[in-house]
Amino acid sequence: MLYTFMDFCAGIGCWRLWLEQAWFQCIAYSEIDPKAEYTYKTFFGNKEQNFWNLMKINPDNLPDFDLLIAWFPCQTFSVMGQRKGMEDPRGQVILWIKRILQQKKTKYFILENVKGLVNHNWWKTLKDILEMLDETGYYVKRQVLNTKDYGLPQSRERIYFLWVRKDLWPFNEKLKFPMSVNQEPLENYLIENSSKHNFSKTRSETMIRYLNNKYNKWELSIDDVIKKEWCIIDTRQSDIRFYQWFSPTLRNGRHWLIYSKNGKLREISGLEWLLLQWIPYELASKIIWKLPDTDLLSQAWNAMSVNVIKAIWEIFFDFISSINPHGSYTTWLSNRKTLISEWVWSYREIEQLETR
């Protein structure tokens, strides 16, 4: 059976990367950022319509679909922002999602946001969202998950919501979130070999001045930093932080995330930002030539971690199958036709990239 979904606040399409490996077909999407849309089309083509601003969509103009996916803007709930919550227009996206759900009666939907949503406004914002969507006719399971607990070496805590329309919910069925798995080595993802990302003499001198400023003086030398192989280094005004086994959360403003490789300091490249969200190498390699690293960082920051999507989808698909039995995830996995050939593993087999 072929299920259909719409990809709202789609970004670069991380949910779609995995859903199209299953019995789901994207029939349309909405994304307001032209650069993100450009990457989305580079990954998936031009066939589906972009409805652009979710808050201007008339639900009557949407086709019918089974699953709604949405990453609604997190800046308004994040500790990195002003935390205006629902008072910020971006925080009101959830109200328009509710409007679409009321009109379309979608069977299932999945939302993602920053961990800060949990305790925003002393938990009132979360309570209001849950009550609003309960009244709309949906049961929900929610949990904060960390990307690094599902194999990918990036610490990234996000809250995930799994919603099922009440008339479909099997009361004897318990929907549980996935168990954690072993983390992969960080060096599997820091694979860029282009000299473009080596520290130049000027950048090295800037780093030395940073290490000798009033906050960091006498703590470390640049030789100490270089010796920390396969360790991501996060420079801040008041300190310097080292992440030996994983990356800190990808976000804007972290343009000085660096690491040491073969005795040289390197900035994390746009390719590596995308890989650290589990974007397949063959897709990432299509866009890294077309956009600057600053744009790729912004897109990776706004993206969802594909490894977590995979882990969630495995358990959610089995749950959906228990409602509409067309085979479990295990059955699907054994019979699936991979739409993106060797889509996850290809970049890990690459020993060296061509110098750009």
Task: Give the pLDDT band (50/70/90) at residue 72.
Answer: low
Q: Which residues contact 283 (CB under 8 A, 6 or more apart)?
A: 17, 42, 43, 340, 343
Helix axes 93-104, 124-136, angle to 10 degrees: 10
Q: What letter represents residue 236's amino acid?
A: R
∠ CA 137-315-302, nearest 5°, is: 80
Extract the tokens encoding 277.
Answer: 């969200």
Task: Give the pLDDT band (50/70/90) at residue 341.
Answer: very low
Residue 49 has pLDDT above 80, yes or no: yes
Residue 74 has pLDDT above 70, yes or no: no
Contact predicate 178/146, CB 8 Å: no
pLDDT of residue 71: 75
The structure's pTM equals 0.84
Extract the tokens encoding 114.
Answer: 């920053």
* Number of residues that make up the chain: 356
∠ CA 21-22-26, nearest 5°, is: 80
Q: What is the mean pLDDT of residues 27-31?
A: 95
Contact predicate 305/152, CB 8 Å: yes
Q: What is the mean pLDDT of residues 31-58?
A: 94
Which neighbouring-strand residues pair with 110?
69, 162
Starting from the edge strand earliest in sequence, which strands make up the sheet with 232-235, in order? 240-243, 232-235, 257-261, 264-267
Q: Which residues are catalytic?
A: 74
- CA-closest candidate to residue 196, choices 263, 283, 89, 269: 269
What span, in angstroms and rounded, lies between the C-alpha atoms of 174 and 163?
A: 13
pLDDT of residue 89: 53
